[in-house]
Amino acid sequence: MDLALIWFVLIAVLWTGYLVLEGFDFGVGMLMGLLAKDNKERRVALNTIGPVWDGNEVWLLTAGGATFAAFPEWYATLFSGFYLPLLLILLALIVRAVAIEYRGKINDPKWRQRWDWAIIGSAWIPSILWGVAFANLVRGVPIEEVDGRLEYVGNFFDLLSPFALLGGLVTLALFLSHGAIFLALKTSGDFSKRAGDFAKKISVVALALAAVWAIWTQLAYSVAWTWAAVLVAALGLAAVAWFTRTESFGKAFVANAVVIVGAVVLIFGSMYPDVMPSSIDPQFSLTVDNASSTDYTLTVMTWVAVIMTPIVLAYQAWSYWVFRRRISTDNIPEHNELTFFKK
């Protein structure tokens, strides 16, 4: 196995980690507006992800950095072709970070309400757009040779095909399910019960949407061996629906993670040997070979990954262990933040 292929697989692994971990972050953000009845419950929801959400984003930064270093042509074409959706995702992530940090700085209902809407909106936008982006990578985008270089020649609306929009709905439903299960695991009392009841409903929706999209992907764009990934994802989706019904939320969370693993394998397996297929002519597709860096660059990256990855994984596992306990409204103190001076 050559280094370019190894890094293609490693980038898929990084995306898997990001979607599994950030998926429930986005789900919790969206559910703040659907499940939380008052300010204390919204604070409970935020506290479930408060210690880990920024660490989860490291997987995105690493996946982006690895793509830039290992496949510069892929990175350049992806960010120029998907400029608007990726810009919207980036802005949403920035707004979410600011909103989480600033929400509790001032004890004022209107102040908190504005930041709550910022958190909720910045969770919905990436949840949809990530699915749209990955569906387009599977389907192919308009790429052709321009002045000796392979470049994206479409526009934003070329990315909004029915297949891509369905992909956006799939990630939206999966993240909502992931977030609801996480809240059922990490909270207690009435809020936990409401999260569990919502998980029972949304898991069925996710099952239906994902089944249609996976079969469409397999029949239209994929290869024979990825039927295995479809089967794994299907069994995972069925398990999520079953375990939420029996209120075995720990098992449901693991099953949902398995679904995401199966989905990433299906996506990257469907793309290979391309990293960005051309919908105009296959000869214009960016491939693992023609988009990769030099062997020297890939070798240095491999040694850095071998040394640093265990350290990062150990630290992140430790942080999850430290903050493993459930949270309830009884754990939320009264406000002691600054207040606006009134004339």
Residue numbers of the domain that contains 228: 24-143+158-331
Question: Does 63 fall in a domain?
Answer: yes
Give residue 340's pLDDT. Answer: 55
Give residue 59's pLDDT. Answer: 92
Question: Does 129 fall in a domain?
Answer: yes
Question: Does 341 fall in a domain?
Answer: no
**Amino acid present at 343:** K
Question: Does 8 fall in a domain?
Answer: no
Give residue 343's pLDDT. Answer: 46
Give residue 335's pLDDT. Answer: 67
DSSP 332: P
**Amino acid present at 217:** T
Question: Does 1 fall in a domain?
Answer: no
CATH number, position 57: 1.20.1630
pLDDT in tens, the chain (343 residues): 589 999 999 999 999 999 999 999 999 999 998 998 888 889 899 999 988 888 899 999 999 999 999 999 999 999 888 999 999 999 999 999 999 988 888 888 888 889 999 999 999 999 999 999 999 999 999 988 887 777 888 888 888 999 999 999 999 999 999 999 999 999 988 999 999 999 999 999 999 999 999 999 999 999 999 999 999 999 999 999 999 999 999 999 999 999 999 999 999 999 999 999 988 888 888 999 989 999 999 999 999 999 988 998 998 899 889 888 888 777 777 765 666 555 4
Give residue 18's pLDDT. Answer: 95
CB < 8 Å & 24+ apart, contacts of 114-122: 116/32, 116/33, 116/42, 117/33, 119/29, 119/32, 119/46, 120/29, 120/30, 120/32, 120/33, 121/92, 121/95, 122/29, 122/92, 122/93, 122/95, 122/96
Question: Does 324 fall in a domain?
Answer: yes
Question: Does 10 fall in a domain?
Answer: no
Number of structural domains (the chain) is 1
DSSP 82: T
- Label residues 231-254 b or e (16+ Cβ within 10 Å = b): ebbbebbebbbebbeeeebebbbe
Question: Does 11 fall in a domain?
Answer: no
Give residue 279's pLDDT. Answer: 86
